[in-house]
Amino acid sequence: MKEDSIEFATRDGQRLQAWRWAPEGAPRGVVQVQHGLGEHGGRYRRFGEALAAAGYLVYAPDGRGSGRSANGRYGHWGPDGWPGWVDDLLQLNHRIRQDHPGLPVALVGHSMGSFATQQFLLDHSAAVDAAVLLGSTEVSGIVAMMTAEGPVDLSALNQGFEHRTGFEWLSRDAAEVDRYCADPACGFVPEPFAGIQTLARAADPAALSAIRPDLPILILSGDADPIAGGGAALQLVAQRYRDAGVSDVDLTLYPGARHELLNETNRDEVTARIVAFLDRTIGG
């Protein structure tokens, strides 16, 4: 396995850094990973290494306002705001297609990255060969939360969990929670997302009908994830895709698991499930 980084440009003139994990030998396909709010692509190293061991080439950007791409200005989204976040997925996809013509590409989005993925697929489902949503939910409530007055406050998500750090909602693994809290590039309070209202399109049946019907979509969530509504919100997301004509939609809920499935106590099980999905869809 080889680790390195690339840089690519956004449409509003930012330069984003992306981690890359490559397998030994020729890759079977490419996996593009989009992280969530208040974190960065470097947190996906363990996942990237597991995918590389399975033969996949992995790109995991530090999104705008995040990780190395933020240049210390965490949570500053730039002129294009939320629509830029979504378009950044397309810009990296173009770079991947340019560097690896002919290889199939899967898109994996976690949390805010999964919401960006939901919106991205409305207009660009032909750009990817499979999609995975992690730590996701039905988007209407997210739009309401992100457009509320004042800074984005996620503290309410920890209600119902033990309160040691305030981030227990992320994982049952205390060591993973501590690593998150100790990372200066995690847990920051972001500026409002200009243009986040456009995310509401991902709940619109007419917009969803534009997704190509043969796109395989895997949705994974913990039923104790506070944004998942006990799993009901993900059932709604999956059914909307099916109602829109998407024929291959697979939803799995993990009992007791919280928001960050790739950092949960059952992360090996989750990773194996994703690898099996990739093997079935892009790995052939």
Distance CA(148)–CA(156), nearest Å, equals 14
Place of tokens 């944004």: 227
- The fraction of the chain above a pLDDT of 70, given in percent, is 98
CA distances from 218 to 18, 96, 207, 221, 235 (A): 24, 21, 19, 10, 12
CATH number of residue 238's parent domain: 3.40.50.1820
> Do the beta carbons of residue 273 and residue 220 sit within 8 Å?
yes
Encoding tokens for residue 248?
């291959």
> Given this model, what pLDDT does residue 143 score?
87
Q: Using the predicted structure, report yes or no on whether residue 34 has a pLDDT greater than 90.
A: yes
Structural domains in the chain (count): 1
Number of H helices, E strands in the chain: 8, 8
Q: Using the predicted structure, report yes or no on whether residue 150 has a pLDDT greater than 70.
A: no
- 87 — pLDDT class (breaks 50, 70, 90): very high
- 152 — pLDDT class (breaks 50, 70, 90): low
| pLDDT tens for each residue of 181-218 | 999 999 998 888 899 999 999 999 999 999 999 999 99
Q: Using the predicted structure, report yes or no on whether residue 85 has a pLDDT greater than 90.
A: yes
State the average pLDDT for the chain.
Answer: 96
> Given this model, what pLDDT does residue 126 score?
98
> Given this model, what pLDDT does residue 151 score?
65
What integer is the mean pLDDT of 269-275? 98
Residue ranges making up the domain that contains 173:
2-281
Q: Using the predicted structure, report yes or no on whether residue 227 has a pLDDT greater than 90.
A: yes
- pTM to 2 decimal places: 0.97
Distance CA(259)–CA(244), nearest Å, equals 27
